[in-house]
Amino acid sequence: MMISSTTKVFGLFGDPVIQSLSPLMQNTAFRMLQLDSIYLPFLVPRESLSGAVNSIRALNLGGVNLTIPHKERVIPYLDQVDEQAGLIGAVNTIVNRDGALCGYNTDASGFLVSLKSAGFNPKGKRAVIMGAGGAARAVAAALAINGASPIHICSRSEERGKGLAQELGRSGFTVAAGGYGRHFFELLPKADLLVNATPVGSYPNQKEKPAAGGEHLHPGLLVCDLVYNPPQTRLLAEAAAAGCSVLNGVGMLVHQGALAFQLWTGRKAPVDAMQRVVSDKIDNNNERRR
């Protein structure tokens, strides 16, 4: 693609951004649809967020994605926040509409699309989420909005889990929280869905043992790992061997990107092509490391 004076610029604000697959995914989508647009990674440390957000207006960027550590802290700097993102308390996509910055959360919707594409409808389902960070927040809210009940957040830092449950409670979501003690292992046999929203099992610590192993999992349970590198984590391998259905994080990654693309361009995203480049890149990186 030729960059010209009319090229629309989109980007990613985060720290770090070097590992991100979003530039590859979004630039592939722009190229497929022959759009005069480009997507760039911007390394934005925590203390530079307000200046970076102002630069969206000053430089007339089309929009940006946000990643760690900005998704929650960005909200006060925006002109409008979509209702769902406001309830979740986190924004991962900003659209610049003639200088008005509007925030959305496509992580939550991307997670749901990925779940539904695996044939899982959350309504009335019992869910257990491992982790209490940004991803757990989006997943818990997405499940609550779509009728999953009960929802339990289990986390290493119990205080963080309880804080998150309380915050989600203030938005009207009923979410319980606890640690990885006996209660966690009592919840698992009754659960329909287990989500890993921690980095446990991700590259380069693929061998790290998750809180739940194959011996705690039962056929009929859907085990979803938000980790996408490697695509087959230790948790998913143990879950598949225990007869569970499994879903990795590639679908959520691709669908959150596709939904952001649609918000920015008004065009339907080429999801298959986005999924293919992301999967190929992960496979190639892993092949090179072997």
Ligand X SMILES: NC(=O)c1ccc[n+]([C@@H]2O[C@H](COP(=O)([O-])OP(=O)(O)OC[C@H]3O[C@@H](n4cnc5c(N)ncnc54)[C@H](OP(=O)(O)O)[C@@H]3O)[C@@H](O)[C@H]2O)c1
CB of 2 to ligand X, least distance (A): 31
Query: Could you give the strand order of the β-sheet that contains 127-130, starting from the edge strand earlier in sequence?
Result: 176-178, 151-154, 127-130, 193-196, 222-225, 245-247
By CB under 6 A, tell whether 105 contacts ligand X.
no
By CB under 6 A, tell whether 162 contacts ligand X.
no
By CB under 6 A, tell whether 135 contacts ligand X.
yes
CB of 60 to ligand X, least distance (A): 28
Candidate segments 41-49, 191-199, 214-222, 268-276, binder of ligand X by CB under 6 A: 191-199
Q: State which of residues 88, 108, 197, 212 lies at the interface with ligand X (CB under 6 A).
A: 197
Q: Which is nearer to ligand X, 53 or 226 (CB)?
A: 226
Whole-angstrom CA distances from 53 to 137, 241, 272 are 23, 46, 31
Looking at beta carbons, which residue is closest to ligand X?
Answer: 133
Q: State which of residues 26, 65, 96, 256 lies at the interface with ligand X (CB under 6 A).
A: 256
Q: State which of residues 103, 131, 230, 270 lies at the interface with ligand X (CB under 6 A).
A: 131
Query: Is 125 labeled as catalytic in the residue annotation?
Result: no
For 166, phi then psi, to 5°, come to -65, -45
By CB under 6 A, tell whether 133 contacts ligand X.
yes
For 39, phi then psi, to 5°, come to -125, 125
Q: State which of residues 13, 184, 228, 264 lies at the interface with ligand X (CB under 6 A).
A: 228
Q: State which of residues 188, 253, 258, 282 lies at the interface with ligand X (CB under 6 A).
A: 253
By CB under 6 A, tell whether 143 contacts ligand X.
no
**Number of neighbours of residue 185 by Cβ within 10 angstroms:** 14
Q: Which is nearer to ligand X, 126 or 255 (CB)?
A: 255
Burial (CB count within 10 angstroms: exposed 0-12, middle 13-18, buried 19+), residue 274: buried
Distance CA 10, CA 61 (A): 6
- Catalytic-role residue among 8, 71, 207, 281: 71
Amino acid letter at 7?
Answer: T
By CB under 6 A, tell whether 109 contacts ligand X.
no
Distance CA 40, CA 20 (A): 10
Q: How far apart are the first and last CA of the chain?
A: 33
Give the 3-state secondary structure percentages of the chain, helix then strand then coil, rounded to 5.
Answer: 45, 20, 40
Q: State which of residues 22, 93, 105, 155 lies at the interface with ligand X (CB under 6 A).
A: 155
Q: State which of residues 25, 30, 61, 107 lies at the interface with ligand X (CB under 6 A).
A: 107
Residues near ligand X (CB under 6 A), total: 24
Name the site residues for ligand X (rule: CB under 6 A).
68, 107, 131-136, 155-157, 160, 197-200, 202, 226-228, 249, 252-253, 256
Q: Which residues are catalytic?
A: 71
